[in-house]
Amino acid sequence: MDKDLFTLMNEQMNSFSKGHKAIAAYITEHYDKAAYMTAQKLGKTVGVSESTVVRFASMLGFDGYPALQRALQELMRNKLTAVQRIEVTNDRLSGGDVLGQVLASDIEKIRTTLEETSEDAFTNAVQAIEHCETVYILGARSAEPLASFLNYYLSRMFPQVKQLRNTTTSELFEQVMRIGEKDVMIGISFPRYSRQTARMMEFAKNQKAHVIALTDSEQSPLAPFADDLLIARSDMNSFADSLVAPLSLINALIAALSISSADTVRQSFEKLEKIWDEYEVYSENKR
């Protein structure tokens, strides 16, 4: 669906019944709470029946209320400030089994990622990285640890891997000034999306580099510039983003590259093992 939920409601407001207008008004004013309400609870809160809520979702073009709820959750995650996130997650998790709820949510996000990520896009991304001259990796703000993790392993597997340091925009452009059609740019961003990452990906695309986006949906601002779109579901378990599923997808990417480039990777790590042994990088486990 190309239009967001608020746009759909505004366009059809004049055709809504009294009950549907009440639902739309509540969602507009309290989308942070409505995003996690069942159809029954939303109806009770607004003063309409559960079936009225279900019909409201269908009128907007959704395949049932759960689809509307998912759209609202996506929209909410992009709009909420950190303070609002704290309030929402306190409502969701307070008084319950926080450990169990958060881990269960992370498991579900990995399951959804497996279902939604394109195998063709994943395979193409692996091949592009394997055969390129230089890999550029950018992840800003909360996505920076993901970029660092990917850079740590790829830089030990391949000779030309560069993690772009998130400084000023002008300095970022300077770091990618030589990117070209034989190179790969990997951009990583999740709500709230980094404008800098999107701009760097647009620049890389204009320079004819192969662009890989690791993000959460086709509506992400990174998606239009991606040759390969790798979708990994994140979640707002607290004011801190849950990035378990994106990290799992990165692990899969590293594993696939280690298999497809087995000889190169083996040679690299044989050299590293000698260096680690000679300079006693790792301590021995004395038992």
Say if CB 221 and CB 172 are below 8 A apart.
no
User: Is residue 239 over pLDDT 60?
Assistant: no
The Cα–Cα gap between 109 and 245 comes to 6
| Rounded average pLDDT over 58-85 | 76
The Cα–Cα gap between 214 and 250 comes to 9
Q: Model confidence over 249-281: pLDDT tens digits?
A: 999 999 999 999 888 888 888 988 888 888 888
Q: Going from the N-terminus, what domains does the chain have, and what CATH number goes with each?
A: 5-111 (1.10.10.10), 116-278 (3.40.50.10490)
Where is pLDDT greater, at 189 or 69? 189
Backbone angles phi, psi at 211, to 5 degrees: -110, 125
- Please report the pLDDT score of residue 1 as a whole number: 46
**Which residues have C-beta within 8 Å of that of residue 104, sequence separation ≥ 6?**
none
pTM: 0.72
Q: Model confidence over 76-113: pLDDT tens digits?
A: 666 655 555 555 555 555 666 778 878 887 898 898 89
Lookup: tokens for 122:
């994943």
- Please count the CA atoms within 13 angstroms of the CA of 3 that sit on its side-chain side: 11
